[in-house]
Chains A and B, each alone.
Chain A
Amino acid sequence: MSFTVPGKTQSMLREILPRLVLSPSLFLILIFVYGFILFTGYLSFTDSRMLPSFDLVGLANYTNLWGQRNWMTALQNLAIFGILYIAICCILGLILAIFLDQKIRGEGILRPIYLYPMALSFIVTGTAWKWFLDPGLGLENTMHMWGWSSFTFNWIKDRNMAIYTVVIAAVWQSSGFVMAMFLAGLRGIDGEILKAAQMDGASNWSLYTRIIIPQLRPVFLSAFVVLAHLAIKAYDLVVALTNGGPGRATELPATFMYSYTFTRNQMAVGASSAVIMLAMIAAIIVPYLYSELREHR
């Protein structure tokens, strides 16, 4: 394509063209992201049930929401799931990264093995783990067959323990990714500092606890932000692994929103739960993005 428009028109085109190119995307984002957020926000103050309604009812849906036992279960589960998921992924990821960073032979084979679950759909992960954790078919059955007849592992059928099976499957899927982040962080540390510390007689343990791990602070922060937002959005894994059960024992905010909006005909309550989810994520993401964008000005 060539522009042989003379002088003034050309310079005007130069001014406008970049903005013109950006405008479809901006339009889409403004409507489909921010417009939709406003729409859902508005719905959360209405009496919408099966279809959207525009009659305002004040904060009724929010008081209703916080009075729902299912919502409280969902929040409690999110707290358990989120804390364990983030903590275990970080600890496991850090340990694996440090171990892999010891000039390990076969690192090129091990690393992709740790990481491949991240390429899978949560539905696939859920299908695999549902079976693996099923007492009659999976691990428990296998242990019995191998002669350990007193072995029991029926968490997935147990109301009080089922949420922990979601943690197990989610950690399996994401911890390799966290490992890769930490490994990149470790490889980026300046060798001179370590040399100096070793000259001063620092032991290996204190080398890691005093110097290396503190230097990984930005990686911890990134890992936290990524994992926290994955936890709040977690939906597919629960659907495939437990489908929210047994009973409603593994309900999370995302499954709550879906069932209230689309199967229970309580759209306004569903909308208000979505608003709360957005608020949770914004509370984590906005400060993070703000600081990141400022640093790189």
Chain B
Amino acid sequence: MSSYASQKSAIGAGKLVRAALYAVLILFAVYYLLPLFVMLVNSVKTLDEIRGGNMMSLPEHFTFEPWLTAWSTAQIGVEPTGLRPFFVNSLFLVVPAVVISATLGALNGYVLTKWRFPGDKIIFGLMLFACFIPFQIVLIPMARILGLIGLAGTTSGLVLVHVVYGLGFTTLFFRNYYAAFPDELIKAAKMDGAGFIRTFTRILLPSSGPIIVVTVIWQFTNIWNDFLFGASFADFDSMPMTVALNNLVSSSTGVKEYNVHFAGAILAALPTLVVYIVSGRYFVRGLMAGAVKG
């Protein structure tokens, strides 16, 4: 590692080259930060100042009003409820969906690596392919089934949907992680008479910390950010945050309150951003695990 790194520092030895390198890197940092900056700055301006001013300039009259409006009084549907109830909807959707899909994924990964049986590879293949299907292919029958089992337009219905279509990824994550776990330890535990469940809870689970974090972050981000399922299967009372935000931003009635839109957008982004800032390292690992199979 160190010899390789020193070689690479030799590659960019010239001072001018290094200055250019930094310039490019900083330029791109500006590019990635700009939209967030614009949203933040304009979410604390008055509407007049936005209309008459420059989107890059800092607010002359700092106001927190748009945030309060977005949170509790903005008109999403007929009533001025703000985004709060939909934020709560998303929480009630995300927590059970993440817990259930991660638990099932852990058990599946355990069975598929440590209790193998004929045909398990085919089952894994079926689950893996399920990760990638375009969800358009399931929208019509899903709407029918949710209606049939009485879960149409409910948060429970959305939980079911997200558990089902998250299973492939959670199983994949745990399977890959447990595949690298030494079989000898499992064998020894079995010799000692530990059964299926005790082997899992005593041997595997205590060392599953990292993969649990990765899976939870992955599922949390995906479910929180989902729009398609929310737009297709939720009714007004169970609408998740992303759908409510889109209604707020694209509603064609009345004056477009851009500052409120921005505050709302940041509110919708906040949970995943916080998760990302707190545990970015795991977030990256999750993305990688989702990308690089095997």
Contacts of A129 in B (CB 8 A): 35
- Residue A164 lies at the interface, judged by CB distance under 8 Å to chain B: no
Whether A29 lies near B275 (C-beta < 8 A) is no
Q: Which 4 interchain pairs have the tightest Cβ spacing?
A: A191-B4, A18-B115, A121-B225, A119-B276
Known: A181-B291, A195-B3. A121 touches B269 (CB 8 A): yes
Whether B269 lies near A120 (C-beta < 8 A) is yes
Closest A residue to B115 by CB, please name it.
A18
Whether A142 lies near B198 (C-beta < 8 A) is no
Which of A115, A121, A177, A289 has the most CB atoms of chain B within a 10 A radius of its CB? A121
Known: A236-B228, A289-B125, A292-B294. A40 touches B137 (CB 8 A): yes
Whether A277 lies near B283 (C-beta < 8 A) is no
Interface of B is mostly: helix
- Residue A113 lies at the interface, judged by CB distance under 8 Å to chain B: yes
- Residue A207 lies at the interface, judged by CB distance under 8 Å to chain B: yes
- Residue A72 lies at the interface, judged by CB distance under 8 Å to chain B: no
Residue from the list A110, A194, A270 in contact with B29, Cβ < 8 A: A110
27 cross-chain CB contacts under 8 A: A3-B197, A13-B196, A21-B107, A21-B108, A22-B108, A22-B123, A52-B144, A102-B18, A102-B21, A116-B36, A119-B269, A119-B273, A123-B242, A128-B262, A172-B35, A180-B284, A194-B4, A235-B228, A240-B250, A257-B136, A282-B129, A289-B129, A289-B293, A293-B124, A293-B125, A293-B293, A296-B294
Contacts of A295 in B (CB 8 A): 294
Whether B129 lies near A121 (C-beta < 8 A) is no
- A residues sitting closer than 8 Å to B (CB atoms) are 1-3, 10, 13-14, 17-19, 21-22, 24-26, 28-30, 32-37, 39-40, 43, 52, 96, 99-104, 110, 112-125, 127-132, 137-138, 141-142, 145-146, 172, 176-177, 180-181, 184, 189, 191, 194-195, 198, 204, 207, 218, 222-223, 225-226, 229, 232-233, 235-236, 239-240, 243, 253-254, 257-258, 261-262, 267, 270-271, 273-275, 277-278, 281-282, 285-286, 288-289, 292-293, 295-296
Contacts of B125 in A (CB 8 A): 289, 293
Residue from the list B54, B262, B288 in contact with A180, Cβ < 8 A: B288
> CA A267 – CA B141 in complex, angstroms?
11
Whether A123 lies near B246 (C-beta < 8 A) is yes
Contacts of A180 in B (CB 8 A): 284, 287-288
Residue from the list A32, A137, A195, A258 in contact with B7, Cβ < 8 A: A195
> CA A32 – CA B18 in complex, angstroms?
54
Whether A236 lies near B138 (C-beta < 8 A) is no
> CA A121 – CA B284 in complex, angstroms?
16
Interface-facing stretch out of B8-16, B59-67, B74-82, B150-158: B8-16
Residue from the list A128, A270, A277 in contact with B36, Cβ < 8 A: A128
Known: A103-B9, A235-B228. A110 touches B167 (CB 8 A): no
Residue from the list B164, B283, B287 in contact with A29, Cβ < 8 A: B164
- Residue B28 lies at the interface, judged by CB distance under 8 Å to chain A: yes
Closest A residue to B161 by CB, please name it.
A32
Whether B11 lies near A207 (C-beta < 8 A) is yes
B278 CB to closest chain A CB (Å) equals 11
> CA A128 – CA B53 in complex, angstroms?
17
Closest A residue to B221 by CB, please name it.
A119
Residue from the list B104, B138, B242, B291 in contact with A32, Cβ < 8 A: B138
Whether B273 lies near A116 (C-beta < 8 A) is yes
Residue from the list A104, A191, A254 in contact with B22, Cβ < 8 A: A104
Whether A292 lies near B268 (C-beta < 8 A) is no
> CA A239 – CA B243 in complex, angstroms?
11
A245 CB to closest chain B CB (Å) equals 11
A70 CB to closest chain B CB (Å) equals 15
- B residues sitting closer than 8 Å to A (CB atoms) are 1, 3-5, 7-9, 11-12, 18, 21-22, 24-26, 28-29, 31-36, 38-39, 42, 50, 53-56, 104, 107-108, 110-112, 115, 117, 121, 123-130, 132-142, 144-145, 163-165, 167-168, 171, 195-198, 221, 224-225, 227-228, 231-232, 242, 245-246, 249-250, 258, 261-262, 265-266, 268-269, 272-273, 275-277, 280, 283-284, 287-288, 290-294
Known A36-B141, A102-B21, A128-B265; 15 more pairs at CB < 8 Å: A19-B117, A25-B104, A32-B164, A32-B165, A119-B273, A121-B227, A121-B245, A122-B225, A124-B268, A141-B54, A181-B291, A189-B4, A194-B4, A225-B291, A292-B293
Known: A36-B142, A102-B21, A236-B227. A113 touches B29 (CB 8 A): yes
Residue from the list B33, B36, B164 in contact with A28, Cβ < 8 A: B164
Whether A24 lies near B104 (C-beta < 8 A) is yes
> CA A119 – CA B272 in complex, angstroms?
6
B13 CB to closest chain A CB (Å) equals 9
Which of B8, B144, B165, B231 has the most CB atoms of chain A within a 10 A radius of its CB? B8
Whether A25 lies near B167 (C-beta < 8 A) is yes
